[in-house]
Amino acid sequence: MLGCACALLLAPAAAQDPTESFAGTSLRQSYILEQLTSASMLSFRPVGSTSTVFRTLLRSTIGAAFKAATERKPYGPQSEVAAYRLARCLGLANVPPAVLRYLPASTLQAGIDAEHSSQWPEISQRLIMGRDDKVLGAAIYWVEGMRDTGLDTTSGQARVAAWHNVALPLPEADASLAADASTMVAFDYLIGNWDRWSGGNVKSDPSGQHLYLRDHDAALPTHLSEALHRHMLDRLTQTQRFSRSFYAALRGLSRESYRHELEREPAFASAGLWDPTRIDRLFDRRATLLSHIAALIDEYGANKVLVFP
């Protein structure tokens, strides 16, 4: 068995895997993945602006978003799924499950709700049509009840910076959010997700105590500009408190275990759908992240750095 949380993805119900339930709910991730893969898509409502995303009604007990490949983000669907699969390897249960699906363009067109049907000509121009006019997209679990946290505002980011400063006290009431925000910063650096804090992407569960890590269609780029990498690295170096379990999982992550997890998604095996350079860059950033945490432990001690579970 692989020494990685991702190996437990399809474990039977009796297995004690705390990450099998999505974000602490009673909903099993294996069930969500099954429904995203096989449930019929009944209707599509366009949402969002920078990518072609549809809120999708499934013949299921869950809802979904369908994020299609576009000329602007041709690898957006693969990036979403690759980020989710990496989260499974790292034992993160708060990244919405995502799978790849091919959908006939005619199904999309026929299913667009009446209010937006006139937008089809514009929408279709943005889509990448593959063989038989099929569109590749990521079917992503639609999380209900999300709420804004305000952490992506100027004052909110100042709160986050204070939470993660080893020289400052950590208010007990903020510990859960602080832990999730720390892992969010680390995970974003790892996957090269540079625009998390630009607005609207730092949302919590209804209780306001736990964050969802979502919207990863820019993840695992083949290249990050020096300016964008510096921007992400600056945020990472401000983070001095981390999760002990995340650090352990990060140290245990290997190319083999991640490749094994990606192979659970059959479309990744198709020629031309993925560039190994993305994986190389991912493990370059992993090395930088591990070095940063190890240096902090050397300076301040593990008890002051690895303060979150």
pTM: 0.92
Which of 36-45, 139-148, 265-274, 283-292 comes out lowest in average pLDDT?
A: 265-274
Instruction: Specify the 3-state DSSP secondary structure of 135.
Output: strand
Per residue in 9-33, pLDDT (tens digit) is 333 333 447 679 999 999 999 999 9
Q: Amino acid letter at 126?
A: R
> Residue written as tokens 């759908």?
273
Backbone angles phi, psi at 201, to 5 degrees: -115, 10
Q: Quick one: which H or E segment has residue 104?
A: strand 98-104
pLDDT higher than 80, residue 273 = no
Distance CA 131, CA 273 (A): 13
Give the pLDDT score at 11: 33
Give the pLDDT score at 4: 42
Of 232, 97, 241, whose CA–CA distance to 180 is shortest?
Answer: 241
Give the pLDDT score at 79: 95
Give one DSSP letter per residue of 218-272, joined into a string: T-S-S---HHHHHHHHHHHHT----BHHHHHHHHH--HHHHHHHHTTSGGGGSTT
Please report which residue ranges of the chain form alpha helices under DSSP H. Answer: 29-38, 76-89, 105-111, 120-126, 154-163, 175-191, 226-237, 244-252, 255-262, 276-300, 302-305
CB 104 within 8 A of CB 136: no
Per residue in 30-60, pLDDT (tens digit) is 999 999 999 999 999 999 765 699 999 999 9
> Residue written as tokens 């992993």?
286
pLDDT higher than 50, residue 3 = no
Reading the block at residue 268, the tokens are 């990744």
CB 201 within 8 A of CB 187: no
Q: Amino acid letter at 177?
A: L
Distance CA 227, CA 27 (A): 40
Per residue in 61-89, pLDDT (tens digit) is 999 999 999 999 999 999 999 999 999 99
Instruction: Give percent above pLDDT 70 in the chain.
Output: 93
Per residue in 187-233, pLDDT (tens digit) is 999 999 998 998 889 999 999 999 999 999 999 999 999 999 999 99
Label residue 284 by pLDDT band (50, 70, 90).
very high
Instruction: Specify the 3-state DSSP secondary structure of 124.
Output: helix
Give the pLDDT score at 13: 37
CA dihedral 194, 140, 211, 308 (to 10 degrees): -80
Q: Amino acid letter at 232?
A: M
Label residue 108 by pLDDT band (50, 70, 90).
very high
pLDDT higher than 50, residue 113 = yes
> Residue written as tokens 């245990």?
252
Label residue 271 by pLDDT band (50, 70, 90).
low
Label residue 171 by pLDDT band (50, 70, 90).
very high
Reading the block at residue 229, the tokens are 């990498």
Distance CA 227, CA 55 (A): 33
Q: What is the DSSP letter of 147?
A: E
Half-sphere exposure of 95 (CA within 13 A, CB side): 24
